[in-house]
Amino acid sequence: MRLLFLGPPGCGKGTQAKHVVERTGGTYIASGDMLREEVKNQTDLGKKAKSYMKAGDLVPDDLIINMIRKKIERDIENASFLLDGFPRTIPQAEALGMMLDGLNQPLQKAVDFQVADDEIIDRITGRRLCATCSAVYHVKWNPPKSDGSCSACGGDTYQRPDDSVETVKNRLQVYHRQTEPLLQYYRDKGILVSINGSGDISEITARIEQSLGLTLKA
Ligand code: AP5
């Protein structure tokens, strides 16, 4: 399928997106992961993006659109992909629409995960990631089997620098101001699917499965 996962920071879209792509295949395009790689490699884009990401602000549209355009042109050779975290503004959505129309592969569904702001703060401040394979954990709700090391590959886990309480509060404000208007944008296109993002990770997976008519069980 050609999917977009939308929602506030920490709503669980990355956790669910990885699960969906593992089960159904297709190209996974996560703008946040791509940007963190650019920062790590100290590329020109990474150097420009770093301060915005650290503050919890959006990286300017032209930089992001360029990065995603290159990825889509290079990697989307089949009709199945999942976009996670892009687009986040109306200009980004319009640019994406033009790119996909040009490839004759328009989005089929935009999935919005609804989670209250208080729960978001608990989720993000407890998040830990594997430095080697990028697996995502939560200290309380989805801990690795042994503290500080990844259950999948044994790599060290770490906390993202933008996962502090203060930065998360700003990321939530940015989401409500700049990204939430996309819900109406995709509702008007008739492809918005809203999912309650509260509950166990497996419950949310079951809701996605039901809403999209997919089979995601292991
Ligand atoms: P990005 O990396 O995309 O961050 P985000 O959108 O803020 O989303 P997160 O990765 O924080 O959350 P998520 O929804 O994936 O949640 P997760 O599954 O990890 O972007 C980072 C920055 O890059 C942005 O701030 C911006 O600066 C820049 N950027 C990126 N894209 C951009 C764009 N398009 N335009 C401009 N700038 C851009 O889950 C969170 C935690 O909760 C985890 O610990 C997880 O284990 C846990 N969890 C998940 N599900 C559940 C559940 N059901 N119950 C309990 N815990 C759960």
pLDDT tens digits, 103-145: 899 999 999 999 999 999 999 999 999 999 989 999 998 999 9
Distance CA 128, CA 138 (A): 6
pLDDT exceeds cutoff 60 at 101? yes
Question: Ligand 1 pocket test: which of 6, 11, 13, 15 has the largest number of ligand atoms within 8 Å of its C-beta?
Answer: 15
Domain ranges for the chain, please list them: 2-124+163-212
26-53 as b/e, with b when 16 or more CB fall inside 10 Å?
bbbbbbbbbbbebbeeeeebbeebbebb
pLDDT value at residue 217:
60
Q: The tokens of 87 are what?
A: 């687009």
Question: What would the pLDDT profile of 9-35 be if each residue is shown by its tens digit?
Answer: 999 999 999 999 998 888 999 999 999
For residue 187, the one-letter residue type is: R
What value does the mean pLDDT of the chain take?
94
Question: What would the pLDDT profile of 167-202 be if each residue is shown by its tens digit?
Answer: 999 999 999 999 999 999 999 999 999 999 999 999
Question: What CATH number matches the domain at 2-124+163-212, 3.30.56.10, 3.40.47.10, 3.40.50.300, 3.50.50.60?
Answer: 3.40.50.300
Q: Which residues line ligand 1 (CB under 6 A)?
A: 9-15, 31-32, 35, 52-53, 56-59, 64, 85-88, 92, 123-124, 126-127, 136-138, 141-142, 162, 171, 199-201, 204
**Do residues 63 and 45 lie in contact, with contact meaning Cβ atoms separated by under 8 Å?**
yes
pLDDT value at residue 218:
54
Report the percent of the chain where pLDDT is more than 70: 98
